[in-house]
Every structure is written in structure tokens, then in C-alpha cells.
Structure 1
Amino acid sequence: VGFRYPGGDRRTLAGVSFTARPGEFVLITGASGAGKSTVSKLLTRFYDPVEGQVRLDGVPLPAMPLDFLREHVTLLPQETLILHDTIRENIACGRPGAAEHEIVQAARDAAAHDFIAALPEGYDTRIDPHTARLSGGQLQRIAIARAMLRDAPVLVLDEPTTGLDALAARRVVRPLRRLMSGRTTIMITHDLNLAPDADRVLVLDHGRVVETGTHHDLLALGGAYARLHGSQNGSSQADTGPRPTLRLGPL
């Protein structure tokens, strides 16, 4: 597919093509501005491509009712979407009519039940700017619980750990793994902590797929992915030479 935002002077995506098979975990990464988040917008039909097609089980997305698409594809967006309502309603909107025990189980699966139960009003606690000052990681786990309850077969994760400190991100990873289990998952992220779990990694650069393979294959390749991974870990994978010695003392 190719895509250009309305009024844009250049294509954000050009000739991007890949398939995510049932139950497969595909991770899409790249530098800032590479076009990663645009992919999530096309997969959920916030936009349609200007070239090519996005298909679900072989059916072009415009050929199916939007409600059907949204029922079968769950999006966990980059900005955590939280209603100014109770924690219960924030989780339950994933599947209206869900029973109380289903809501609680979804919260347990998302590692959210313990901190919710510790609040004075528990699941009846309202989330708004003036009450229940929950952390970013706690709000993200509530959003994960909502996605757990929705239980759609296709999952699109757009930068699920963005804005979280290292400790909060680590707490989110385990429930994310539970959420992804058994689902076709496409994760758009610059955070490569989950890359070893992926069946395939796609590297975008200036709107094009420049590398594809497993985490270990791409590290061994020593190209764009290895540089991205090295920058996150403070060293380049290709740099295996001796480190310079730093000495402090008089000149």
C-alpha cells in the first residue's frame, strides 16, 4: 500500500506489503517519522490507502461494514483512551453487557485488579482529573483489561509502552503478553523489549520496509534493526572491539 495524508506533500508509506497470519505476532519498528503509526490507522480504517488494499481474511476493508471490522480488530492506541467514568465502565465498554465476574477476570489478567481493589471505592472509583490519580502504567493496564474483555481475534498495538517509565513499562509487558496470546497481533513500537517474542520484525524507513526477519536474524544482519537495537542498549551490536580506557587524574 501507499499513503499520503490529505494536504501532505509526500507519501508517508510507499509500497508497504506484509501478511500477518492467524495467531502470528508481527512487530513493526523504525525511527521516529518512519510511518509506523500510519500503519495502525490503515489497519483500523481511520484512513484508507491511496494505493493498494488492506484485507482481512482476503476481504478488502472497505467491502465490510465498519462495525464488523471494529468488532474483530481491537486497537490499543498510543494515547491511552480513558472515559471520565468509573473504572468498571472503562473496562466494560470493551464488551457492553459483560458480567461483573468477566470484568474482574479481565482486570486480573491485565494485572490491574490488585491496585483497583486497594482504592477506597474499588471498581466504582471515577477516573477524572480530580480523583483517583492513577499512574500512566495503571491507566494502561485498565486499557489492556478493556481489550482483554473485548476478546477480538486481531490486535493492533500502537506504541503500548510510550510515556511509561522503565518500571511501569516492565509491569505492562506481562499483561501484554497475555493479551497477545492466541491472537493475530501487529505491534507498532520503537521499544524493542518484546521483539524477541515476535514471529517477524519489519523495519520501516521513510515509509518503506527495508528489513524483515526475526529479532536474531536482523541482529546478525547488522543493518538498520541492529542500529536501532544498539541505540536502545547503549552500544552497537556490530561494535565488538575493545573499549577505550578512561582515566581521571592530573594533566
Structure 2
Amino acid sequence: MKTTQPDLTIPTHEFAGQRVFVSGGTKGAGEAMMRRFAAGGASVATTARRAPTGTDLPGLFIAGDLSSAAGVTKTVTALLDALGPPDIVVHNLGGSDASGGGFAAIDEERWMQELNLNLLAAVRIDRAVVPAMVQRRSGVVIHVSSIQHRLPLPESTTAYAAAKAALSTYSKALSKEVGPRGVRVTSVSPGWIYTEASQALVKRLAASGGTDEETARQGILQSLGGIPLGRPAWPLEIAELVAFLASPRAASIHGADYVIDGGTVPTV
């Protein structure tokens, strides 16, 4: 598997004068999005529960917990006070730490945690900032979903996959409502992304299995049913797709879901 990041040429002024908010933008694909928008000339902001350490993350950081209605209200208030109303919003926040055991092992509290994090955070943020986009008849909203809304892994991620499926449906509904009023809405569904967390997982699997990292990576690929491209996506590749969809180059793209998974989803 090739593990060298691609060299992508970045337009340096395409987001000049734009205010961009990326939720969950302190690591992984979210961090790559922050850097990509900043490199394109945007004023960028993000939020997470804890401030990043040991990084030169560009833009404004707001400490906040988006998994609750109160946390969203506090975060959005700070965002508007510091940056003003965003022109582009990317809902990158998401994830799951549910244990295995199938649907019966997911209790009420875990279901609500997965829904709050992977669905309702985006709904609440949109409710706070999209009306201003509608009023000025300009804005872009991108929801980061997952291929798991089509390929759920029932052993451990049923609630996550269900929440992402709901997010994709919500994104489509929002696009139909606000598109005629000047606001573009799209969604992006990544497969396996080779983040620092993924790299750490590979190292753990290699160590626990007494194999090398390439063997461990191939084991993950097999568990996903294979990735025809032969590798996961790099965070900056996700960021480049998001940047394209947010840019004027994609001015006619609206209401669509873009899969970026190296061919993992086996159907049309």
C-alpha cells in the first residue's frame, strides 16, 4: 500500500474574504480542511472540547462541546462574536467509540450520544447560522457523512451508521429548502481515512498480532470488504474535495452526496 501523501497544488486566493467554520477541525480530515481553506485565503475557525497542543493550526479555535444544545449555543455565540456570520460551514464533527456486540449492546445513553454527535450537532448549528445565509442569499453548507450510511458495520457501529444516514437525509432535505434562496448544500461520504488515529490502530494491530504494519493495513482492508484503489484516503484528499465543493468552481453542484472511498462501496 502506498503511504506517501500526494502533492496537491492549492489555489491561493479562491477563498479570499470568506469566513469558514469547520466543526471538529483540530485533527484528521478536519485539520486538513482548516489548513486547506486557510491556504486558499479564508478566515477560518473551528471548535473542539479541548484546545490542540503541539500544532500550528491556523485560524480561530473555540473550546466547546457540540454534543449538546447548550454547547452549540455557546460555541456559535463565540463564533459570531469573533468571526462574524460564516460564509461556508463544514460539519466535519463525528465519530463513534461504541463497543462491539451488535444492536442489543447499544443502550439508550449510547444511542443519544451517537445521535447528538453525528446528527444533531449539525442540525443545531445550521439552525443558528443558515438563516443569515438565506437572508443574504449566499452561503455553502457541507455535511460530512460516511459510507457507513450505505455500508453499516453491525458489530459495533449501528448507531453511528444510523445517525450518518439521518444526516445524509437531512442534508438533502435542507438543500431542497434553501437552494432556491441562494444557499448551496452538499454532503461528502468518506470511507477509511488514513488519519493519525488510523495509523495508531495499524501499529497496535501489528504489535498485537506480531506482524508488520503493512500486514495490519491489509487486514483492515479485508475487514472493509476491500478497497479497490488499494489504500485509504489521506485527510488532505478529503479536504480537497470539500474545498472544491465549497468553491465557486462547484457553483452548480447542490443537493448531492459525494463518496470518496477508493471504491469501497461495491454498487452504483
Higher relative contact order (CA 8 A, sep 6+): 1
* Smaller-chain TM-score bracket: 0.3 to 0.5
Give the structure with higher Rg (CA). 1
Could you state the TM-score of these two structures normalised by the residue count of structure 2?
0.32
